[in-house]
Amino acid sequence: MAVLCRPAVAVPEHVVTLEETLALARAEHRGHPRLALALRLIESTGVRTRHIIRPVSRTLVQAGIGARHQVYVAEAKARIPAVVEEALDNAGVEARDIGMIVYVSCTGFTMPSMTAWMIDALGFRPDTRQLPIAQLGCAAGAAAINRAHDFCDARPSANVLVVACEFCSLCYQPTDDDVGDILCAGLFADAVGAVVVRGEGGLGIRLERNASHLVPGTEDWISYSVDDTGFHFRLDRRVPGTMAPVAPALRGLVERQHWDVSALDFYVVHAGGPRILEDLQRLLDVPRTAFRHSWATLAERGNIASVVVLDVLRRLFEEDSLPEAARGVIAAFGPGITAEMSVGTWRSRDPWPAAG
What was the pLDDT predicted at 60? 86
The mean pLDDT of the chain is: 93
Q: How many CB atoms lie within 10 A of CB 137?
A: 28
Is 90 exceeded by the pLDDT of residue 228? no
Is 60 exceeded by the pLDDT of residue 354? no
- In this predicted structure, which of 132-141, 225-234, 345-354 has the lowest mean pLDDT? 345-354
What was the pLDDT predicted at 350? 67
pLDDT tens-digit profile of 244-269?
Answer: 999 999 999 999 999 999 999 999 99
Band of pLDDT at residue 225, cut at 50, 70 and 90: confident
Q: DSSP letter for 95, please.
A: G
| CATH superfamily of this structure's domain 3-198 | Thiolase/Chalcone synthase (3.40.47.10)
Domain boundaries, the chain: 3-198, 204-347
Band of pLDDT at residue 108, cut at 50, 70 and 90: very high
For the segment 113-139, the average pLDDT, to the nearest whole number, is 96
What was the pLDDT predicted at 331? 98
Specify whether the CB–CB gap between 224 and 233 falls below 8 A. Answer: yes
Which are the contacts of 326, defined by CB distance < 8 A and separation ≥ 6? 265, 266, 345, 346
What was the pLDDT predicted at 238? 81
Identify residue 71 by its one-letter amino acid code.
V
- In this predicted structure, which of 95-99, 179-183, 254-258 has the lowest mean pLDDT? 179-183
**DSSP-assigned letters across all residues of 239-262:** GGGTHHHHHHHHHHHHHHTT--GG
What was the pLDDT predicted at 229? 77
What was the pLDDT predicted at 134? 92
What was the pLDDT predicted at 352? 54
Band of pLDDT at residue 289, cut at 50, 70 and 90: very high
Q: Of the residues 5, 106, 138, 165, which is catalytic?
A: 138
Measure the CA dihedral 291/249/188/168, to 10°.
130
Judge whether 3-198 and 204-347 match in fold: yes
What was the pLDDT predicted at 183? 86
pLDDT tens-digit profile of 32-63?
Answer: 988 899 899 999 999 999 999 999 988 888 77
- In this predicted structure, which of 47-56, 79-88, 231-240 has the lowest mean pLDDT? 231-240
Band of pLDDT at residue 240, cut at 50, 70 and 90: confident
Q: What is the largest CA-CA distance in the chain?
A: 63
Spatial distance between the Cα atoms of 80 and 115, rounded to a whole number of angstroms: 11
Residues linked to residue 120 through DSSP beta bridges, in sequence order = none
Measure the CA dihedral 238/244/247/252, to 10°.
-130
Determine the distance from the C-alpha atom of residue 20 to the mean position of all C-alpha atoms in its chain, rounded to a whole number: 24
- What is the Rg, in whole angstroms, of the alpha carbon atoms belonging to the chain? 19
Specify whether the CB–CB gap between 241 and 274 falls below 8 A. Answer: no
For the segment 303-316, the average pLDDT, to the nearest whole number, is 98
Band of pLDDT at residue 356, cut at 50, 70 and 90: very low
Catalytic annotation present for 152: no
SS3 track for 164-182: EEEEHHHHCCCCCCCHHHH
What was the pLDDT predicted at 355? 46
Is 60 exceeded by the pLDDT of residue 5? yes
The pTM of the whole model exceeds 0.75 = yes
Band of pLDDT at residue 140, cut at 50, 70 and 90: very high
Band of pLDDT at residue 351, cut at 50, 70 and 90: low
CATH (one of 3.30.1370.60, 3.40.630.10, 3.40.50.2000, 3.40.47.10) for 204-347: 3.40.47.10
Percent with pLDDT over 70 in the chain = 98
